[in-house]
């Protein structure tokens, strides 16, 4: 084999290995008490999801919309509007919305951008329902898919979680 052929084979092997590691890590994240929900949503105008989730620990959870994005600047500005509502037994626990160009909290890591739509205090073992609707103002150039994530405040270290 020539050097370029060998190099391509090595690069492909590394890419396959990275995909396997990423899929195992994602599956492991769903098993973590820090993650209450990961559900896909299409990034299209007026897209909507409804889902039910249960938190496995008490704590402050974030509602985030995560999608692949390579370039963002600080302060992180939202690119489109979104409305969400979290209910427990039919009662509204938390509701919120974001508007385009709002200075919203965000988490950026590994090529992904997570807009933090809101925070709410969740209780262990309680079933919640979430409905989330995107606005009609999504810019062109965004990826076609995203996930709605509900996860524990990342600043809480695992050592502070009882029973961990």
Structure confidence at residue 73 (pLDDT): 58
Rounded to two decimals, the pTM is 0.72
Structure confidence at residue 58 (pLDDT): 92
CA 91 to chain centre: 24
Examine the domain organization and report whether 126 and 72 are in the same domain.
Answer: yes
CATH code (residue 147): 2.60.120.790
**CA dihedral for 95, 51, 47, 62, sign (positive or negative):** positive
Q: Is residue 87 in a domain?
A: yes
Q: Is residue 161 in a domain?
A: no
Q: CA-to-CA distance for 131 and 95, rounded, in angstroms?
A: 10
pLDDT at residue 15 greater than cutoff 50? no
Q: How many domains does the chain have?
A: 2
* Residues sharing a CB contact under 8 Å with residue 82, sequence separation 6 or more, in sequence order: 65, 97, 98, 115, 117, 132, 133, 134, 135
Structure confidence at residue 17 (pLDDT): 36
Tell me the residue range of the domain where 15 lies.
Answer: 1-31
- In the chain, % of residues over pLDDT 90: 46
In contact, 45 and 93? CB cutoff 8 Å = no
Which of the two residues, 162 and 80, has the higher pLDDT score?
Answer: 80
């Amino acid at each position: 084999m020539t050097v370029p052929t060998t190099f391509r084979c090595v690069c492909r092997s590394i890419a396959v290995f990275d995909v396997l590691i990423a899929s195992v890590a994602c599956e492991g994240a769903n098993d973590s008490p820090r993650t209450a929900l990961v559900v896909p949503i299409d990034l299209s105008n007026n897209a909507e999801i409804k889902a039910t989730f249960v938190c496995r620990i008490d704590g402050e959870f974030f509602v985030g919309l995560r999608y692949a994005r390579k370039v963002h600047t600080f302060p992180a500005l939202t690119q489109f509007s979104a409305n969400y509502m979290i209910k427990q037994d039919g009662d509204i626990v938390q509701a919120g919305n974001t508007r385009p160009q709002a200075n919203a909290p965000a988490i950026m890591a590994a090529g992904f951008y997570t807009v933090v739509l809101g925070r709410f205090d969740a209780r262990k073992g309680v079933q919640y329902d979430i409905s989330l609707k995107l606005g009609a103002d999504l810019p062109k150039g965004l990826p076609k898919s995203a996930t709605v994530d509900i996860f524990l405040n990342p600043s809480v270290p695992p050592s502070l979680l009882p029973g961990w």
